[in-house]
Structure 1
Amino acid sequence: MDVDCNTHPPGEAGAISARTLILDLMDTGSPPDFSTRDLVQAGAAFGLEATGIRTALTRLRQEGRVRALDRGRYAIGAKAEPLQHRILGWREVQSRRRLWGGGWLLAVAGPQERANRTLWRHTVRALDLEGFAEAETNVWVRPDNLEGGPEGGAAAMRRRLLALDGAPSLLLVQATALDEQREARFRTLWPVAGLAASHAGLVRRLAESAARLPALPLVEAAAESLLTGREAIRAILRDPLLPEALCPPDALTALIAAMDAYDRLGKDIWRRYLGT
């Protein structure tokens, strides 16, 4: 799933690009690879021309995000594997949490990181995906409550940011004993109520879509299930995984459970649509 892309209502013109569709399908890991015919047929569900699918496939191969197999099929490429690994783990994201001791992770950016616009864009995206919020000019912060292994939270987070194409020179440190004003302000940087409401809204949409899909023509059901499911997974992956003291996990737990059921339904629809 291309977690950077915006989603649109099912059936809307331009709802998904050929590039995003190919990556979305391959990111599911089920099936592990697709033929050109599969991808062209998938594109037809969204009104995408075969030439557009083939052009996107060629470009993705050149970028290393897709690789060709010996038997003329295509699978995820090395360049896209870190993000695919992250996407495939959406059901277990909450297992990344650990008991919060009150510390923080601070990412500090300087002129070196901002000089390259493309690198800086990737760095901001990586910080966003890892639940950081901009606290002050050039300073991003998140609670140090994620599993870090024996090396600690900062070392593990540094690896994750690098895997998401963040700037290697970004300063990332663990911080404790902040002044009272910063401590209080940092705790309010995330829109907790809005996040819970958004998750609850997606749970309702998943239920409504699941009830509607069986009555739809197969091609329409395939398109709707992919668009609706990708929006839910995008929300799960972008949840900052805050400690319970800052944000109760109930809304995210409910969304993951709802998406788990919807995912099984969507995959069955796509197997039938592609004839696999």
Structure 2
Amino acid sequence: MAETSKTALDESAPGPAARRLILKLLVASETETLDASDAIRACALFGISDNNARVALTRLANANLIETAGRGTYRLGSEGRALGEDISAWRSAEQRVRPWDGTWVAVLIAGLGRSDRTALRVRERALALVGMRQLEEGLYVRPDNLVGGVAHARERLYGLGVETSAPVFTVRDLDTGLESKARGLWNGKELVKGYRDSRRLLEKSNARLGTLPVELAAKEAYLLGDEAIRQLVFDPLLPEPLVTVADRVAFGSEVRRYDEAGRSIWQRFLAARG
């Protein structure tokens, strides 16, 4: 995927960046299209000006993330369709998990340069997305509990921007000290607490969305749903006994329910043109 696609959703702001919001609305669209006027209305909910919304549309089109589908209407472009698949991958996350036999996937980045800040940022994001943590200087690991094993991990790391000169391999039979250190790289209790807290937050919001004006409901559903999905996207998908898997599964199920409710609310909002 092109570098533009990798960074298109990375913008940080108090609310959603215009480009991120527009892309996600297109990914969720039942008709697979979005009118420019609806994009502008959606952006206005979050205090994004008409001009900034139009600039975002232009930049997304220039990056092949969206393309015109008629006068004033857009659909996902070639880069956007690929990115849309990445955005939606969280839905099937648990299907990518397999039983863990104690083996670790490792990547050695000690020989890679650190002077190129862009390359370093891409590398660090890739390692985070694959759920890897540093065991020793320049050596990152994760449990080998994902479908496809080391071959898939290697393909994903390289696809996300890690230099192909970085060896990706499996490690087993660590000594007692390193094994204990590896298992302690993630705070399993904190992860489980995050699953439970976020699940309760979504349940509480879902119960009250129907009582809110559609504009407020759409805004709340987007902000809370976006944060919950981000939590799943960056979740390392650890096995037992490092986390309580049942709590992660329950959280994922609640995110899917909340996402469906949010989609319905946004359809109502976009249909209610003034």
Residue matched to 2:125: 125
Report the secondary structure of 2:114's partner residue.
helix
RMSD: 2.2
Alignment of 1:99-110 (within 5 A): 99-110=99-110
Unaligned stretches of 5+ residues in structure 1? 8-13
1:102/1:144 contact within 8 Å kept = yes
Q: Residue type of the partner of 1:200?
A: R
Q: CA deviation at 1:186?
A: 0.2
**Residues 135 and 68 of structure 1: CA distance in aligned 2, closer, same or farther (over 3 Å):** farther
Q: In structure 2, what is the Cα distance between the partners aligned to 1:71 and 1:172?
A: 48
2:128/2:234 contact within 8 Å kept = yes
Alignment of 1:122-271 (within 5 A): 122-148=122-148, 153-271=149-267
Q: CA deviation at 1:71?
A: 5.4
Residue matched to 1:272: 268
> Could you state the TM-score of these two structures normalised by the residue count of structure 1?
0.88
Deviation string for 1:20-72 (max 9, x for gaps)?
Answer: 21222234354422121121111121121111011112222223333333555
2:105/2:169 contact within 8 Å kept = yes
Q: In structure 1, what is the Cα distance between the partners aligned to 2:61 and 2:204?
A: 37
**Residues 18 and 159 of structure 1: CA distance in aligned 2, closer, same or farther (over 3 Å):** same
2:19/2:57 contact within 8 Å kept = yes
Report the secondary structure of 2:210's partner residue.
helix
Q: CA deviation at 1:246?
A: 1.9
Q: In structure 1, what is the Cα distance between the partners aligned to 2:172 and 2:9?
A: 32
Q: CA deviation at 1:111?
A: 4.6
Q: CA deviation at 1:212?
A: 2.0
Q: In structure 2, what is the Cα distance between the partners aligned to 1:163 and 1:42?
A: 32
Q: In structure 1, what is the Cα distance between the partners aligned to 2:124 and 2:76?
A: 24
Unaligned stretches of 5+ residues in structure 2? 1-6
Residue matched to 1:96: 96
> Could you state the TM-score of these two structures normalised by the residue count of structure 2?
0.88
Q: Larger relative CO (CA 8 A, sep 6+): 1 or 2? A: 1
Percent of paired sites with the same residue: 35
Q: CA deviation at 1:194?
A: 0.5
**Residues 166 and 80 of structure 1: CA distance in aligned 2, closer, same or farther (over 3 Å):** farther
Q: In structure 1, what is the Cα distance between the partners aligned to 2:260 and 2:233?
A: 18
1:96/1:146 contact within 8 Å kept = yes
More displaced 10-residue stretch of structure 1: 16-25 or 97-106: 16-25
Count matched residues: 266
